[in-house]
Amino acid sequence: MRRIPEPEYMDIEEEAAAYAAADFDAVNAAFVHAVLEFSGTRAAPRVLDLGSGPGDIPQQICQMRPNWRVVGVDASRAMLRCAMRRKSEYKKTAWLRYVQCDAKKLPFPAHCFDIVISNSILHHIADVHNFWLEIRRVTKSQGALFLRDLARPSDEKEAARLVQEYSGKESPLLQEEFYRSLLAAYTPDEVQRQLHDADLPEAQVLQVTDRHLDVRCILP
């Protein structure tokens, strides 16, 4: 099935609020667990979460690893407002910062993060080459990359089935968003080519569920 792009930033208030209110507890917990396992033991690492959205993932990481210094970035002011509200509910978040910026043009020096993570941003991005180049630029040698995103299904019928199975109880707006996101997602082969073109040949692309792919890499 041909990819149908969707808008990059989720900066409509209603859309951000619906996303922040949705129940992603199980998928977010699985993502955080996988990040912690893949990254291994590191002393006070600097962590970058690209497209941090409403902030549930960086918040969970800070609760579980209070010595990790986490920066969440998102281009959407509406999403960052949700993330800041969530942060203020947790009094003991040790080291969590948010920055509004485009993930394809990061305001950070080269090689300054030990771990770069992202959940569900790649399918939003049209200019994937600059996205991957920025990731490579800001990550330290021996740094860990762990990105998870949707994998584009074979056809629209399968996309509709996935929406029904995994978001059948969510609002119509959220179901519509999930459907559009599945159609905008890249396939594992497309992502592998993107990584090769961005000089990240050591990165592995794995289809990990019927709707998710992972990119995992320890930089040389």
Ligand X SMILES: C[S@@+](CC[C@H](N)C(=O)[O-])C[C@H]1O[C@@H](n2cnc3c(N)ncnc32)[C@H](O)[C@@H]1O
Residues that bind ligand X (CB under 6 A): 8-10, 24, 51-54, 56-57, 73-76, 79, 102-104, 119-121, 124-125
- Minimum CB distance to ligand X, residue 73 (Å): 6
Q: Which long-range contacts (CB under 8 A, 24 or more apart) does 153-162 make?
A: 153/1, 153/182, 153/211, 154/1, 155/1, 156/1, 156/183, 159/1, 159/183, 162/210, 162/211
- Minimum CB distance to ligand X, residue 154 (Å): 22
DSSP 112: -
Nearer to ligand X, 142 or 153 (CB): 153
- Minimum CB distance to ligand X, residue 183 (Å): 14
Q: In this chain, which residue has its C-beta nearest to ligand X?
A: 53
Nearer to ligand X, 64 or 201 (CB): 64
Nearer to ligand X, 34 or 41 (CB): 34
Nearer to ligand X, 148 or 220 (CB): 148
- Minimum CB distance to ligand X, residue 101 (Å): 7
Q: Are 217 and 144 in contact (CB under 8 A)?
A: yes
Q: Is 159 left (phi over 0), alpha (psi -120 to 50) or beta?
A: alpha
Nearer to ligand X, 54 or 153 (CB): 54
- Minimum CB distance to ligand X, residue 19 (Å): 6
CA–CA distance from 42 to each of 36, 38, 68, 69, 141 (Å)?
10, 11, 9, 11, 13
User: Alpha helix locations (H) across 47-187?
Assistant: 56-64, 77-89, 128-138, 156-167, 172-184
